[in-house]
Amino acid sequence: MSFNTISVIGLGYIGLPTAAAFASRQKKVIGIDINPHAVETINRGEIHIVEPDLDNIVRQAVEGGFLQAATQLVAADAFLIAVPTPFKGDHEPDMTYVQAATQSLAPVLKKGDLVILESTSPVGATEQMADWLAQVRPDLSFPQQAGEQADINIAYCPERVLPGQVMVELIKNDRVIGGMSAACSARATELYNIFLEGECVVTNSRTAEMCKLTENSFRDVNIAFANELSLICAEKGINVWELIALANRHPRVNILQPGPGVGGHCIAVDPWFIVAQNPTLARLIRTAREVNDSKPFWVLDQVKRRVADCLTSSDKRASELKIACFGLAFKPNIDDLRESPAMEVTQHIAAWHSGETWVVEPHVAAIPEKLAHHATLVSADVALQQADVLVMLVDHQQFRAIDGAQITQRWVVDTKGVWR
Ligand code: SAJ
């Protein structure tokens, strides 16, 4: 039986591109979101998030009548849940949105439907979701009760796309398919093959859940290694970027790059899901999180030292010094400032410094609310010509292109090794 109607619940950075990908293959897609602004924007053929190429695909899908957004769930043949799974104050995963989505789809479920969880989730979340559904719909059978014969098929199929390259990676990346039974995996594979050019690799739901957490924890641990090296190298007077480039010439060494910390909504969050479930075993994963989370404070300390040096060697007072921070985004060449270590460092500098704090961020039009009244948005030229201390936080292409000769300041904190 093919899928006539597909429902995608949660129209954010993952849900909307996924809905658009199905619609671009001429499938009828109903996108569901609790945010009426997002729903209205999409129904006008526009988008409420920033992602290259997504606007065109959504516009065509809406104009062609294949994609429609709504706030209330309606019947469909497949349901994909792509709602946020943040963590709570104690780093425990917060499954409230997944639970709410599950409860809202339960009443419209019918025999033969497929339910897929895509949201990053702790191990066991898919089985928990299946139990929630079974409690509300005793008239239907689920894989935990009826195995291959279940009325409803359920699978965990994590996304693994890189923000900024979502429309390419969504189609090309291999997809892990974690069905609660072989029939569930077969059905989920059939669904993703509607748009997927990568391969569907089948496993069970628990392994698929752990796989998603493992991928992002691997990256976090590797970045923590680079960040720890950057601290050691600063003590020893060694250029950490030269060191890593040299070490990476070894055929079996591939160290990532240090920076001001780790940001975004995935790598800084997902490892905690493993730690929360395995507090005594996940020692390395926890320590990596702590190393990366502490990096912005180390950067702040470096800035304070450069400012002290600057004051010693000039006749200016601290209140007369201008500190220019280059970059606010959570990584290069995007405008996403959420969970950004660059933003965190800049806020700390602005709160501490008695003089002016300047921000250079070509990806924003105005100073963000969090920094309003504390910092001023200036051009790169103004910062390079007039600031006393430079702080490089995000290696945007525009900043990499700055000629070393333009940097006349003696006091520079370069967290990305761009101006060495
Ligand atoms: N970063 C470094 N050094 C590096 C690489 C990254 O400091 O060498 C920093 C970035 O500046 C940023 C943070 O890490 O602050 C995260 O950036 P990222 O580009 O590593 O990852 P995300 O958060 O944009 O996307 C990740 C991806 N996961 C992996 O590469 C394993 C993506 O494939 C996932 O789909 C995504 O998380 C997700 O949604 O989970």
Distance 113 CA to ligand 1 centre (A): 34
What pLDDT band is residue 109 in, cutting at 50, 70 and 90? very high
| Positions of CATH 3.40.50.720 in the chain | 5-198, 239-414
The pLDDT-based confidence of 89 (bands split at 50, 70, 90) is confident
The confidence band for 186, taking pLDDT boundaries of 50, 70 and 90, is very high
Active site residues per annotation: 212, 266
User: 9 forms bridges with which residues in the sheet?
Assistant: 32, 81
- How far is ligand 1, taken at its centre, from the CA of residue 162, in Å? 7
Residues 29 and 113: their CA atoms lie apart, in Å, by 15
Mean pLDDT of 318-323: 97
Using the mean position of ligand 1's atoms as its centre, give its distance from the Cα of residue 119 in Å.
16
> 179 - beta bridge partners?
155, 204
Residue type, 97: Y
Instruction: Determine the atom of ligand 1 nearest the C-alpha atom of 262.
Output: 15
Going by the DSSP 8-state scheme, the letter that residue 34 receives in this structure is: S
Count of CB atoms situated within 10 Å of the CB of 98: 25
Task: For domain 239-414, give its CATH number from 3.40.50.720, 3.40.30.10, 3.90.550.10, 3.30.70.890.
Answer: 3.40.50.720
The ligand 1 atom at the shortest distance from the C-alpha of residue 341 is 15
- Summarised one tens digit per residue, pLDDT across range 248-268 is 999 999 999 999 999 998 999
The CATH number, out of the four listed (3.10.20.90, 3.40.50.720, 3.40.50.300, 3.90.660.10), of the domain defined by the range 5-198: 3.40.50.720
**Which sign does the torsion angle of CA 224, 229, 232, 238 carry?**
negative
* Residue whose C-alpha is closest to residue 262's, from 304, 290, 239: 290
Q: What Cα–Cα distance (Å) separates residue 258 from each residue in 225, 277, 394, 415?
A: 8, 28, 11, 7
Atom of ligand 1 at shortest range from CA of 169: 33
Decide: 264 in ligand 1 pocket, CB within 6 A: yes
* Contact (Cβ atoms closer than 8 angstroms) between residue 345 and residue 296: yes
Residue type, 132: W
Which pLDDT value is given to residue 52?
87
